[in-house]
């Protein structure tokens, strides 16, 4: 008889997340009520936004409370269905309420059936999932790059950034990544096809970014924030766009980074917009279909870092926040 295991919040992190903030609990596998579906989770997605939920600070979504299962999406298989839209064996991705656990019941409306023949199941958490959709809507709806423009994206080897750069190339733009270390930068240029990638750990961010963007920057897809963002701002061209998608560099800071170069917004008439992908959730099928088409044509490359077993989740998550992952960070649950 299988047992459920779930990671819950033991304490709120102050500053950096530590493994003691999590507690693994065991419980019976639950039974679905009417309208619900029992999912066996095969893959757990780890994403930077989860750090925001492990906090009492006001944000766009309710935070996790002590004892709650940590927020997170999974890809899995239907074990038992009391919802007419799903049957045993269906492959699905779940909403964030599923959380870091082996089994869970969810209302049918919160699940999305996916075609695991068309693309590997795990990609529905990566380039065809929330990160890929984030890149898609940010670029289409805010960045709106035109051929010949320069697009800069930070965390370029990550799940979102890697798609952003490939969408920029598909739009005929110069794609410039920012990533930490030579290995990631080489991957971004040689495997993903970016025109350049700047290693922010090399210590010459401003100089190297200027060299990589000889015509300035027209679109900045911001995943990192802090000093990287502040260095980019003065290099933005007239009428350029900034997609504020993530500020991971500040998620574990106890005091916020202080931005010095706000004046560039005025001088260069920058349009800057914060985004949460859920705001476009009615349009996911359209975007997922387009991304899946690119994937099948070999025009959307991706990389995964897979940690094995639910036990590995807290450590892998801490590594993700420190940039130790390479591509999409996943936990293989079964």
62, 59, 61, 66: which is closest to 13 by C-alpha? 66
CB closer to its own copies out of 192 and 270 = 270
Q: How far is the CB of 71 from its own copies (least distance, A)?
A: 16
Element (H, E) at 131: helix 130-137
DSSP structure class, residue 249: G
For its own copies, give the closer residue by CB, 41 or 268: 268
Which of 101/249 has CB closer to its own copies? Answer: 249
The residues of the shown chain that bind its own copies, judged by CB under 8 A, are 58-60, 225, 229, 238, 244-247, 250, 255-276, 279
| Min dist. Cβ of residue 228 to its own copies (A) | 13
* In the complex, least distance from residue 270 CB atom to its own copies, rounded to whole angstroms: 5
Rounded least distance, CB 16 to its own copies, Å = 18
**Rounded Cα distance, 276 and 233, in Å:** 21
Considering the complex, state which of residue 62 and residue 182 has its C-beta at the smaller distance from its own copies.
62
State the Cα–Cα distance between residues 100 and 103, nearest whole angstrom: 9
Closer CB to its own copies, 239 or 311, in the complex: 239
Count Cβ neighbours within 10 Å for each residue of 179-205 and write b for 16 or more, e otherwise: bbeeebbebbbeebebbbbbbbeeeeb
In the complex, minimum distance from the CB of residue 160 to its own copies, in angstroms, rounded to a whole number: 13
Between CA 64 and CA 44 the distance in angstroms is 17
Q: Which two tokens stand for residue 287?
A: 């975007």
């Amino acid at each position: 008889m299988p047992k459920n295991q779930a990671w819950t919040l033991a304490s709120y992190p102050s500053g950096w997340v530590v493994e003691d903030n999590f507690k693994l609990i065991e419980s019976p596998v639950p039974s679905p009520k009417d309208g619900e579906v029992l999912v066996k989770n095969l893959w757990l997605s780890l994403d930077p936004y989860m750090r925001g939920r492990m906090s009492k600070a006001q944000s766009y979504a309710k935070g996790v409370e002590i004892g709650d299962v940590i927020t997170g999406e999974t890809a899995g298989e239907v074990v038992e269905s009391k919802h007419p839209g799903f049957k045993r064996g269906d492959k699905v991705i779940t909403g964030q309420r599923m959380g870091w656990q082996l089994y869970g019941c969810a209302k049918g409306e919160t699940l999305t059936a996916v075609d695991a023949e068309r693309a590997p199941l795990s990609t529905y958490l990566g380039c065809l999932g929330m990160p890929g959709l984030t890149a898609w809507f940010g670029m289409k709806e805010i960045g709106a790059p035109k051929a010949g423009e320069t697009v800069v994206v930070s965390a370029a080897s990550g799940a979102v950034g890697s798609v952003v750069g490939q969408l920029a190339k598909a739009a005929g733009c110069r794609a410039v990544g920012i990533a930490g270390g030579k290995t990631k930068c080489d991957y971004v240029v040689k495997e993903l096809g970016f025109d350049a990638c700047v290693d922010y750990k090399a210590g010459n961010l401003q100089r190297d970014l200027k060299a990589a963007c000889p015509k300035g920057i027209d679109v900045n897809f911001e995943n990192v924030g802090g000093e990287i963002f502040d260095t980019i701002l003065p290099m933005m061209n007239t009428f350029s766009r900034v997609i504020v998608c993530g500020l991971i560099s500040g998620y574990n800071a106890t005091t916020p980074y202080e931005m010095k170069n706000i004046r560039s917004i005025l001088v260069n008439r920058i349009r800057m917009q914060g985004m949460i992908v859920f705001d476009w959730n009615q349009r996911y099928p359209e975007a997922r279909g387009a991304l899946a088409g690119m994937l099948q044509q070999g025009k959307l490359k991706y990389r995964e870092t897979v940690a094995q077993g639910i036990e590995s989740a807290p450590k892998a998550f801490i590594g993700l926040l420190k940039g130790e992952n390479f591509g999409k960070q996943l936990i293989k649950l079964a």
